[in-house]
Structure formats: C-alpha cells, structure tokens
Structure 1
Amino acid sequence: MPLPVLSGPQYLRHGLKLVLSPGLRLFVLLPLSINLVLFVGLIYFAGHEFSLWVSQLMPVLPTWLGLLNYILWPLFVMLVLLMVFFTFTMVANIIAAPFNGFLSEKVEGVVRGTDVSPPFSWAELAALVPRTFGREMRKLAYYLPRAAGLLVLSLIPGVNIIAAPLWLLFGVWMMAIQYIDYPADNHKMSWDSMLAWLRQKRWASLSFGSVVYVALLIPLVNILMMPAAVAGATLFWVREREASNPPVA
C-alpha cells in the first residue's frame, strides 16, 4: 500500500521528530556543533557590517523623494538578511555535507524499517567526503550564476525593488534542491535527473522548500532545523517516490 504523501510543513515536523529520536541523535550532534560555531561567527561579523551593506545597496534619491527612503529601507534590510542567510546556509551545508549524507542514509533506514547502511565509523564518514564535496560544488555551480544575476539586479536603481521577492522565490527553490539532493545523491541519481524530478514535483518541492526557508531564517532555531530539514527531505524522497511509483499489486 502506498505511503500517504505529506505537505511541506508535515515533512519538516516529522523530520524534527526523527532527528530527536534516540537512534539518530548521535548523527546530529557533531554537525549541530559545527553549525553553531559558524552561525555565531557569521552573526558577529554581519552585526558589525550590516548597516554599511544596507547603505551601499540603497539607491541615492533626490531630496524631494526622501519619504521614499522610509519605504525602501525595509526592502533592502530584507535583501541583506537574505544574502547573509544564503551565505550561512551555503557554507554550513558544504562543511556538514558528509554528515548530512550519512544522516540521510540512517533516516531512510528508519523510515523504510530496513537500515542497510553501514554502521557509523570515521572511516566511512571520510569515504563520503569526496562524493559529497563534489555534489556541493555542483550545487554551488548552479547557485552562483543565478545569485550573481540577482545581485546585479539588486544594484540597478529602480529595478532593484523587485530583487527581494526574486531572492525569496529563488531561495525557496534552492532549499528544496539543497536538502532533497542528499537522499537523491545517496541513491546515485545524477544532478540533472534530480532537478528534472524536482520540476515534476514542483509544487510539492516548493511547499517543502518554503517551510524549510522560513524555519532556517529564525536565529538559533535554524541550527536544529538543518538536520531536521535533511530528515524531512529524506522522508519527502521516500514518500514522493513511493507516490510516483506505487508497487504493482
């Protein structure tokens, strides 16, 4: 019997329950510690530079349009926050990629009730590094030119007003790609095939990506939400694949 398909918030909620379960806590603690150190460092740096970044992006308006500054300022604050968020998420996921790949394997074993992955060992984790690092570089190659285009758009006076909503939409899509790619990569699905599959599941993918995006914007909560997103994405993979390819009766 096919497993019921869940919504984006349900996938993340179930993912959080999974990573808090006794059998999976071990695979969460180390990446959590790494992400916490990285998060504190980035917030400290961004706190010192935040006002300067907003000022540099804000368009210079004539005096008679001064009132417009008060309308535009929140948009550019949001834009800088989105850029800081993306930087943290990108760096954190590159560092944590081997742990996330291993966590995804363990979560899938729990979900399916048949854990065929090898037991945890540092040698096994080290063996994952080249593959997961290569996959993260592929994500970076997908992300950077699109982000660069949005950044250029953000610097064009007048046109840059639409940059924040475009960053938001792109961010939601990237969150789906970032986390659902872990189980896809574990199953040796190619990058192009994974993207094609996500496009077929566009609305389900955006639903999951949007709730992950919102959860990761919440300071400190986002530290725990990263492994929860890996677990939720793995559950998404299992159930959406099951829904797409139901067993023959």
Structure 2
Amino acid sequence: MMRMADKGKNPVYALQCLLKGLAMLPRKELRKYLLIPLLINVLLYSTVLVLGYYYMSDLIQQFIPGWLSWLEWILWPLFFVSFLITGFFTFTILANLIAAPFYSHLSARVAELLSGDSIDVVEQSWPKVLLAEIKRAGYLLSRMLPLLILFIIPVVNVVAPIVWALFGAWSMALEFMAYPLENRGLLFSEQKALLKEVRIAGLSFGGLTVLGLSLPIFNLIVSPAAVIGATVYIYTLAEQQEQ
C-alpha cells in the first residue's frame, strides 16, 4: 500500500499545495481540462440560486403579511447565508459527481506537468469513477445528516458548529484527494486509510477549501484548484517516499 512521506503531515505544506493549485489554473496546458468542470459549476450554482430565489420570494409573499414586510430584511440574508452553508457542501458533492471524469483527467495532466514526462495512470472506466463518487457521497451524507441533528440538541448545539466545520474540512479533503489517488489505483477505503495518516494536514487542506467554496464567484474556481493542489500534494509526497 502506498504511504506518505513525513512531510505530508505538515499542515502548512498542505496549504501551500492548495495555493499552488490556484496559481496553476491559468496555465494553458490545463485550459481544456478546466472548461467543462467550470461550466458545470456555473450552471449548477446559477440554477440552484435562481430557483432558491424564486421559491423564497413566493414563500415570503404567501406567508408574510404586509405589515410584517420588514422581516424581509432578515429573511433574505438568512436565505443567502443558508445557501452558502449548504451550497459549499451539497452542491460541491453534486458538481464533483458530474465532473468526476473530467477532474480525473485534469489530475493526470497536472501529474505529467510535475514529472515533465508522461506517467502511468491507472485508467478508470467512466462507470467505475462514477460509482466511486457515489460511494464517497453516500459516506459523507450518512455522516452529515446525524451531525445536523446536533444543532437542535440543547447544550450540545454549542459545539455543533465546531464539529460541523471539522467534518466539512475532512469531507473536502476526502473529496479532492480522491482524484490523484484514484489515478494511482487506490480505492475509497484505501484513500481513507492513507489520509488518516496525515489527518491534520488533510483537515488544513480541506478547511481552506471549504473557506474558498463559501465565497461567491470565487467558489467557481476553487474545485479545480483543489484538484490541482491535491495532485501536487500526493505526487510530491509519493515521489519522495519512493526515493
């Protein structure tokens, strides 16, 4: 089983890899791998936001009497905050599920740029990649729902935001590290075991990714940047381990 170099446990190095992913986005060698995932993100976020705005307006008109119209100043900010909180997680998983095959190719191309030569990639069929994404989504959703209950339990709900933030960071680490690891032939269970060896670094990577995904407009480029950053992280550490 593949193991990570000790440097992989350094959370600062993980953050540096993510920032390098952002820096590599403009490279012309990657443009064709970025277009479709970017369009998927734009289409998905725009559709959800427009539909959410439409139904929110409808609910306000139906259930808020005219003399309470001032509540709109409270309800609209709550709507957008809720959209950002749920959007970075739910919509990111859905967008990545659709874009998974394209992100796999993006990760492989980044690895080639890092090596300066063609590399051996374990080719995964489209159905197999999608199945892996469905399993990952099931793993995340099965833990997300119980965690949401913490917010309505007295006393416990005080620590719920902290637990949720840690879970979000871990989820994003699992989500984006999967692409370079799948290209090396690692299955989901092996991916989890590997990332547990560098849990703190993974949480740092995922935490900064979550922060980026919560920022409007900027979140459209965070996913491909995270794929690139994860590839840089996995490639450099795996190479060091092999030397």
- 1:90 matched to 2:90? The reply is no
What secondary structure sits across from 1:24 in the alignment? helix
Distance 1:43-1:165 versus aligned 2 partners, 3 A rule: farther
User: Is the contact made by 1:153 and 1:159 (CA closer than 8 Å) also made in structure 2?
Assistant: yes
Distance 2:205 2:128 in 1: 25
Distance 1:188 1:52 in 2: 49
> Which runs of no fewer than 5 residues in structure 2 stay unpaired?
60-73
Kindly state the Cα deviation for residue 186 of structure 1 after the two structures are TM-superposed.
Answer: 1.0
Could you say what the CA RMSD is over the residues aligned between the two structures, in angstroms? 2.9
Select 1:100's aligned residue among 100, 103, 119: 103
Distance 2:58 2:211 in 1: 25
State the TM-score, normalizing by the size of structure 2.
Answer: 0.79
Equivalent residue pairs, number = 218
Kindly state the Cα deviation for residue 246 of structure 1 after the two structures are TM-superposed.
Answer: 4.6
State the TM-score, normalizing by the size of structure 1.
Answer: 0.77
- 1:32 matched to 2:34? The reply is no
- 1:114 matched to 2:111? The reply is no
Select 1:163's aligned residue among 153, 160, 164: 160
Partner of 1:61: none
Select 2:16's aligned residue among 4, 10, 18: 10
Sequence identity percentage: 35
Structure 2 letter corresponding to 1:88: F
Partner of 2:67: none
Distance 2:186 2:146 in 1: 28
The CA deviation string for residues 159-205 of structure 1, in whole angstroms up to 9 with x for no partner, is: 33332221111000011100001011111112122111101011211
Kindly state the Cα deviation for residue 157 of structure 1 after the two structures are TM-superposed.
Answer: 4.4
Kindly state the Cα deviation for residue 77 of structure 1 after the two structures are TM-superposed.
Answer: 8.4
Structure 2 letter corresponding to 1:36: V
The CA deviation string for residues 34-54 of structure 1, in whole angstroms up to 9 with x for no partner, is: 11011111222344567999x
Distance 1:200-1:156 versus aligned 2 partners, 3 A rule: same
Kindly state the Cα deviation for residue 117 of structure 1 after the two structures are TM-superposed.
Answer: 6.4
Structure 2 letter corresponding to 1:92: A
Distance 1:51-1:213 versus aligned 2 partners, 3 A rule: farther
The CA deviation string for residues 121-145 of structure 1, in whole angstroms up to 9 with x for no partner, is: xxx9xx7421210110111121111
